[in-house]
Amino acid sequence: MKYFFEIQDLCLTLIDNCDMILSSLESASNLFFSVQGHRMNQVMKTLTVVATIFIPLTFITGVYGMNFLNMPELQWKFGYLLIWLVIISVFLCMIIYFRKKRWF
């Protein structure tokens, strides 16, 4: 009987060790998925900032790419330069805004 009790104690110790190892592995896998989720959030934030910058620029170039004749800016001497200045200023303003908010 003495040996059976020793074997029982050994089995209980092994079961406790298995439980500790299992909880350690669960904790490590949770940490891995958390780091992976954080990395994906950083990538999504960068892609969102880039898309937010290019949406207004795409709208401006889309409007001026429609070949309307009644747009007064098209008849001006420096109309092309003005549109480029507007595009660059919108781009720079958005970059400055995102830098201030620490999004980029």
Write the pLDDT tens digit of every residue in 58-95: 999 898 888 777 887 778 888 889 889 999 999 999 99
Write the pLDDT tens digit of every residue in 76-85: 888 889 889 9
Which residues, 6 or more positions from 57, have their beta carbon under 8 angstroms from its beta carbon? Answer: 87, 90, 91
* Domain enclosing residue 91, as ranges: 2-100
Mean pLDDT of 51-63: 93
Please answer whether residues 91 and 61 qualify as being in contact, where contact means their C-beta atoms are separated by less than 8 angstroms.
no
For residue 1, pLDDT over 90 is answered with: no
CA distance to 38, 43, 65, 69, 82, per residue, from 75 (Å): 51, 43, 14, 9, 12
CA distance to 33, 48, 55, 102, 103, per residue, from 44 (Å): 16, 6, 16, 15, 11
CATH number at residue 24: 1.20.58.340
Query: What pLDDT is recorded for position 74?
Result: 77
For residue 29, pLDDT over 90 is answered with: yes
Work out how many domains the chain is built from and give that number. 1
